[in-house]
Homo-oligomer: A and B are copies of this chain.
Amino acid sequence: MKIVILGSGNVAYHLAKAFSEKGISLDQIFGRNEKDLKEISDAFDVPYSTKVLKSADFYIVAVSDDYVNEVSKMITAENCLVAHTSGSLPVAVLEGNYRKASFYPLQTFSKSKNLKYSEIPFFVEADNAADLHFLENLAQNISPHVMASDFEKRKYIHLTAVFACNFVNHLYARAKEISDAQNIPFHYFIPLIQETTAKIKEIDPKFAQTGPAIRGDERVLKVHEDLLTDEEHLKIYRTMNDSIKEMYEL
């Protein structure tokens, strides 16, 4: 089974690393950015090219959403399987006379950060049972958390991740604006943040809720609203508290 990765970004890097750690050799890493390709090539002993795409059985298009279609057209082989790694695209975005698939690792990747690959869930999709079986087996080499999921399901996975990660990060950014303006070091909040997030490994977040809204503490809610001079902060404050009150029927 010859495998080629297209792309040299964070996802390509970590997939190459994860395969390498499990002794699964890649036939090529292909892309435009020679510096990044060379880094992956050197680190995990994979040949690279910016010009000639090798013939392979399985191509992984690990580029950002906007480029998946364009890059997929470079694959002119027909008797092969091609998967993208995006949570928010259908397999039909892949354009070519090959069998189409999705190979979606649910994680946020930065090159500089080590990850436990065995914890990463993989969501896979293919047009036929044999390809699905192949993708499941391949993913299971890296992690036991593998689930078949079509585009409909993938959309909800991505949406859940937007709430639990993208929006959470934005709350951290807004929180830091508040503490920065008062010269309170944001790093003081890190242990509390880590503990809040660690808690949901053990407790359903619905039962771990704390704070003035769930206590029905209108005095504190009023004090906070008076402190918030930024319109966006205030909108978030009210939306989140209203949603907490609605969830617990307060």
Contacts and interface: CB of A to CB of B under 8 A. Distances in A.
A94 to B, nearest CB: 17
A78 interface: no
A236 B176 contact: no
A65 interface: yes
A160 B205 CA distance: 19
A197 interface: yes
A76 interface: no
A1 interface: no
Nearest to A239: B239
Contacts of A157: 179, 182, 184, 188
A195 B115 contact: yes
Nearest to A189: B164
A242 B234 CA distance: 13
Majority SS of interface residues in chain A?
A: helix
- What is the copy number of this chain in the assembly? 2
Interface string A103-131: 00011101001011001110000000000
Which of A120, A160, A244 has the largest number of chain B CB atoms within 10 A? A160
A227 B160 CA distance: 11
A50 to B, nearest CB: 25
Given A166-B209, A168-B171, A235-B243, A192 B161 contact: yes
Given A113-B199, A172-B200, 20 more contacts: A88-B220, A106-B192, A108-B192, A116-B191, A120-B191, A156-B227, A159-B227, A160-B186, A161-B175, A163-B174, A166-B214, A166-B240, A167-B171, A167-B240, A169-B209, A170-B205, A170-B244, A173-B204, A173-B206, A236-B240
19 contacts: A107-B191, A155-B224, A159-B224, A163-B171, A163-B174, A163-B237, A164-B193, A165-B210, A166-B211, A167-B171, A168-B171, A168-B172, A168-B197, A170-B205, A173-B204, A176-B205, A190-B200, A194-B197, A236-B243
Interface of A: 65, 88, 106-108, 110, 113, 115-116, 119-121, 145, 147, 149, 153, 155-176, 178-179, 181-182, 184, 186, 188-202, 204-206, 208-215, 217, 220, 223-224, 227-228, 232-233, 235-237, 239-240, 242-244, 246-247
